[in-house]
Amino acid sequence: MPDSAHRPINDLQSYWMPFTANQQFKSAPRMLVSAKGMYYKTDTGREVLDGVSGMWCVNAGHNRDPITEAIREQAGQMDYATAFQIGHPLAFEVANRLTAILPENLEHVFFANSGSEAVDTALKIALAYHRARGEGTRTRFIGRERGYHGVGFGGTAVGGIVNNRKQFGNMLGGVDHLPHTHNLEKNAFSRGQPEWGADLADDLERLVALHDASTIAAVIVEPMAGSTGVLVPPVGYLERLRTICDRHGILLIFDEVITGFGRTGAAFGAERFSVKPDLMTMAKGLTNGAVPMSAVATTRGIYDAMMDGPPDVIELFHGYTYSAHPLACAAALASLDLYLEEGLFDRASELASYWEESVHSLKDAKNVIDIRNIGLVAGIELKPRGDDPAKRGYDCFVRCFEEGLLFRQTGDTIALAPPLIIQKSEIDHIVDTLGKILNELQ
Ligand code: PXG
């Protein structure tokens, strides 16, 4: 009999945890069992303040009654319906509600289930669009160093995080990368968008000269890079990417899986930074994290180019069993209602300066080498401990969790992105806890 047949149900070995040091975790597990508003509860009954909105997704706070109710009601009415050749009304409603708050050039919405799927969908739409217009040689993608676009082969290939790539061979061919925009010498302790770095976008001209525009389908970037430690775009940088893409007929994809739904102090990063992409991916906050759902928004031009063939032929051979899942649609509608009713995107914008002041008050805490912020996001970068990158960040993560504060640790950067319902007193608590722990840590 295999070993697993003897395991009691509370054994930790069967579950292979994602993006986790399994061996380390299983020797000292941390368990969450319930959540409400700003707080989780652990299996030992301790309250933990959620400083990262679950994983950048629970923008309206946890277990909000209207969302829970909407999911419950939809589960009782229709659990599942295919989206292939048949529709259900909520899917159309979600698409319409999204186009109402998206930048006005984005007029159509394709549904998937995760950010990774949305990214791969956007890349495939870009390829299919160029091909439909007779420019089928445009097959290259340009991503960016330190970019994160999920874990599909497409997203891994255009992503720029070496640990996420090196185990998986060649991935998608024909991908190149822009330089990242992180620069401690020029930009440490910038507030909001750093002043230095717009020129880094000009590297796209170099890549166009190297590969020729006729081979490039799209550029994909996060307007603000989240996972890789909160890299806020330099003033003028995204504008310059837009100009260069336009000059060469290259599509610009914004991956707004993190920046969507209020995080930067506007509905989307595109609005916050006043740059319109041709395609936008979103996920996470779309359903307030309650049911997996993601989407890709496109311009009318892209959609119309694809709708040009015979009317009885499928235009895009792509989709998922769970595209526009009814429970996800119900959760999305309830989330969008809640965001609007409670004015949460405006609230993020109103709280942003208090947030900025508060997080920057940690400037003199031990080992802090940079603090970055925009909207209700912050990255606090710590000096790596000797030759042990990420260890100080991890120790800080564990100590703060024990003290009742959860954030996301990425290398030696602490990423904070609390639910947009956060109170000023809770911001103070986050900063006090972090300050105390940082000064205690080696
Ligand atoms: N694009 C971006 C910009 C993301 O942040 C994805 C795509 C992929 O989404 P899915 O739903 O497939 O996970 C993400 C996901 C972190 C962290 O460390 C961030 C994400 C996921 C897990 C961890 O901050 N973002």
Hey, which of 117, 161, 257, 261 would you mutate to test ligand 1's pocket, going by the most ligand atoms within 8 Å of its Cβ? 257
Stretch 126-145: mean pLDDT, rounded?
A: 98
Is 284 within 8 Å of 257 (Cβ atoms)?
Answer: yes
Residue finishing a domain among 301, 321, 341: 341
The overall average pLDDT reported for the chain is 96
**Model confidence at 76: pLDDT above 70:** yes
Give the residue numbers spanning the domain of 207. Answer: 68-341
Same domain (yes/no): 56, 91 = no
Same domain (yes/no): 157, 259 = yes
For the chain, what is the domain count? 2
**Model confidence at 102: pLDDT above 70:** yes
Q: What pLDDT was estimated at residue 387?
A: 82
Q: Which atom of ligand 1 sits closest to the CA of residue 116?
A: 12
Same domain (yes/no): 197, 309 = yes
Same domain (yes/no): 121, 100 = yes
Q: Ligand 1 centroid vs 401 CA: distance in angstroms?
A: 21
Q: What is the CATH number of the domain that holds 122?
A: 3.40.640.10
Is 298 within 8 Å of 323 (Cβ atoms)?
Answer: no
Against a cut of 0.95, is the pTM above it?
A: yes
Q: Ligand 1 centroid vs 149 CA: distance in angstroms?
A: 7
Q: What is the CATH number of the domain that holds 405?
A: 3.90.1150.10
pLDDT higher at 320 or 1: 320
- Residue 384, phi then psi, degrees to nearest 5: -60, 145
Confidence of residue 345 (pLDDT cuts 50, 70, 90): very high
Q: Which atom of ligand 1 sits closest to the CA of residue 294?
A: 11
* Atom 9 in ligand 1: residue holding the nearest Cα: 115
Stretch 73-88: mean pLDDT, rounded?
A: 97
Stretch 319-327: mean pLDDT, rounded?
A: 98
Stretch 146-160: mean pLDDT, rounded?
A: 97
300 contact partners, CB below 8 Å, separation of at least 6:
105, 107, 108
Residue finishing a domain among 317, 341, 365: 341
Q: Ligand 1 centroid vs 374 CA: distance in angstroms?
A: 18
Q: Ligand 1 centroid vs 307 CA: distance in angstroms?
A: 31
Same domain (yes/no): 381, 330 = no
Same domain (yes/no): 381, 273 = no
- Residue 31, phi then psi, degrees to nearest 5: -125, 135
Q: Ligand 1 centroid vs 219 CA: distance in angstroms?
A: 18
Is 347 within 8 Å of 420 (Cβ atoms)?
Answer: yes
Q: What pLDDT was estimated at residue 3?
A: 58
Give the percent of the chain with pLDDT over 90.
96
Hey, which of 17, 158, 258 would you mutate to test ligand 1's pocket, going by the most ligand atoms within 8 Å of its Cβ? 258
Q: What pLDDT was estimated at residue 5?
A: 61
Same domain (yes/no): 298, 256 = yes
Same domain (yes/no): 51, 152 = no
Q: What pLDDT was estimated at residue 6?
A: 66
Stretch 383-404: mean pLDDT, rounded?
A: 94
Q: Ligand 1 centroid vs 118 CA: distance in angstroms?
A: 11
Residue finishing a domain among 274, 309, 341: 341
Same domain (yes/no): 222, 108 = yes
Q: What pLDDT was estimated at residue 441?
A: 94
Residue 80, number of CB atoms within 10 A of its CB: 11
Q: Which atom of ligand 1 sits closest to the CA of residue 114?
A: 11
Q: Ligand 1 centroid vs 396 CA: distance in angstroms?
A: 22
116 contact partners, CB below 8 Å, separation of at least 6:
149, 150, 151, 152, 155
Alpha carbon distance 17, 14 (integer Å): 9
* Atom 14 in ligand 1: residue holding the nearest Cα: 150
Stretch 287-308: mean pLDDT, rounded?
A: 98
Is 335 within 8 Å of 287 (Cβ atoms)?
Answer: yes
Same domain (yes/no): 428, 327 = no
Number of H helices, E strands in the chain: 16, 15
* Atom 19 in ligand 1: residue holding the nearest Cα: 227
Q: What pLDDT was estimated at residue 442?
A: 87
Alpha carbon distance 45, 50 (integer Å): 15
Confidence of residue 386 (pLDDT cuts 50, 70, 90): confident
Please give the single-letter amino acid code of residue 13. Q
Same domain (yes/no): 44, 179 = no
Q: What is the CB < 6 Å shell around ligand 1?
A: 55-56, 114-116, 119, 148-150, 222, 226-227, 255, 257-258, 283, 408, 410, 415
Stretch 394-410: mean pLDDT, rounded?
A: 96
Q: Ligand 1 centroid vs 313 CA: distance in angstroms?
A: 34
Hey, which of 59, 113, 114, 148 would you mutate to test ligand 1's pocket, going by the most ligand atoms within 8 Å of its Cβ? 148
Stretch 328-351: mean pLDDT, rounded?
A: 98
Same domain (yes/no): 213, 82 = yes
Tokens matching residue 373? 């912020």
Confidence of residue 82 (pLDDT cuts 50, 70, 90): very high
The C-alpha angle 60, 266, 182, rounded to 5 degrees, equals: 100
**Model confidence at 9: pLDDT above 80:** no
The total number of residues written for the chain in this structure: 442
**Model confidence at 1: pLDDT above 70:** no
Q: What pLDDT was estimated at residue 2?
A: 59
- Summarize pLDDT for 235-253 with one digit per residue, the tens: 999 999 999 999 999 999 9
